Amino acid sequence: QALLDRHAMLRLRVDDDGGQWSLTVPEVDAVHARDCLLSVDELSDDAVIRARSRLNPATGLMLSALWVTSTGQLVLIVHHLAVDAVSWMILLEDLNIAWAQHRAGQPLALPAGRTSFARWAEILSAHARTPEVVAQQQVWDQIAATPAVLPAVKPAIDTYERAAHLSVSLDDVETTRMLLAEVPAAFHARINDILLIAFALAVTEFTDAGAPVGIDVEGHGRHEELGAGVDLSRTVGWFTTKYPVRLGVSGLSWSQVVAGEAALGDVIKDAKEQLRSLPEGLTYGALRYLNADVDLEGADPSIGFNYFGRQGAVGADVAGDGWRICEDGSAVTGVAAAIPMPLMHTVDVNAVTIETDAGPRLRADWTWAPSVLDEAQISQLSRLWFEALTGICAHVRSGGGGLTPSDVASARLSQQQIDELARQYQVARSEEHTSELQSHHD
């Protein structure tokens, strides 16, 4: 009840007026926890499906819970309209805070939220109409026009209920460690960029595409910089951004990629600049869904990519007698998500770095349309992605990496000029060195 009262989106009610949605939140205590909770002796797929079927946005039932008496487990199912990956961590923290207060006989008082989801929606809607955002329409039109490299989903067949799944982990902990730190540092990039570029290399090899590939990328969507004083660290809701990217990474043999040869570094740098040239990803969704004066109706790419970041081990205990995410929770998640709704992409990969006793491991969860691909093909694509990541690490171990033009934009240098300077001088990225690069260029 404390969670329902604290987080407005858990009480969300959705009214659908002929395809025009309006979202409203009733007052605190309008949704009663007793109405959301069922008790079962044993956890089963049927019990999870029954609990999921109780969700009803039209009546404001956004949360459904199962208490498993035999194991002391609580299954929480929340409609995706009201929650994202970051929100789950907020809810778990609050559940433990409330539990500790309850055990100590104290009044339940969860930390207050800061910027509400409603306020965020207002900020985002206004942002979608600013001249700077509207000016990005032409770029997004061009990116969205990238031809698909895989056949589209067949909506009547390829649903989340019928989708195929595969979970694969990168066995080499040292490779994952390099991907988290040394590789991004070497290329002055984010780990998201490195993972995405390697994925594009794998897709290009898998499809034998000679042209750039289009990939739908998901991001966290919590862009607090859009408004003064915006703080979404305690806000539960669905903030996800989704936008297309186009990456051209052809021209290498796969043996060059796997070996981490020098030519791989050139491709990575070029792909990094392709990503840097894109508008902020948030602007795509803002224009497509929030600005009625803009027409961005192109088809989404057939391939989806999402990196959730670095998470602690799902089985890690918390201090004291608290709640933790169960190690076998992914099985329940799969059952709960198996709904008769068309897949968004022909193939989707959701990646996350999990902390284990042995060290960090990169895990990839694949979902795909069975009318288009089979498990052998997805296994091949997964293997190619991990091979590309391993090849990038080998390239960095041999001294690969370096700056690209966007790193030293004020110096107005080409990649060739930067590379020539790097062969003659110790080059680092800072304001001081940017000035030094400019003097050498002059």
Q: Which residues of 285-315 are buried (b: 16+ CB within 10 A; e: fewer)?
A: bbbbebbeebebebebbbbbbbbbeebeebe
Strands 73-78, 63-68: pairing kind: antiparallel
- pLDDT in tens for each of the 442 residues of the chain? 999 999 999 999 999 888 788 999 999 989 999 999 999 999 999 999 999 999 999 999 999 999 999 999 999 999 999 999 899 999 999 999 999 999 999 999 999 989 999 999 999 999 999 999 999 999 999 999 999 999 999 999 999 999 999 999 998 899 999 999 999 999 999 999 999 999 999 999 999 988 999 999 999 899 999 999 999 999 999 999 999 999 999 999 999 999 999 999 999 999 999 999 999 999 999 999 999 999 988 889 999 999 988 876 544 444 557 888 886 777 788 888 889 999 999 999 999 999 888 899 999 999 999 999 999 999 999 999 999 999 999 999 999 988 877 777 776 777 777 777 777 776 665 544 433 344 334 3
7: left (phi over 0), alpha (psi -120 to 50) or beta: beta
Measured CA to CA, the distance from residue 192 to residue 273 in angstroms comes to 14
Secondary structure of 123-173 as H, E, C letters? HHHHHCCCHHHHCCHHHHHHHHCCCCCCCCCCCCCCECCCCEEEEEECCCH
Structure tokens at 82: 């009201």
Length reported for the chain: 442
Count the helices and strands in the chain (H runs, E runs): 17, 11
Place of tokens 């900020």: 123
Q: Which of 299, 280, 292 is nearest to 141 (CA)?
A: 299
Q: Which of 337, 367, 299 is nearest to 158 (CA)?
A: 367
Q: Which helix (H) or strand (E) holds 416?
A: helix 415-424
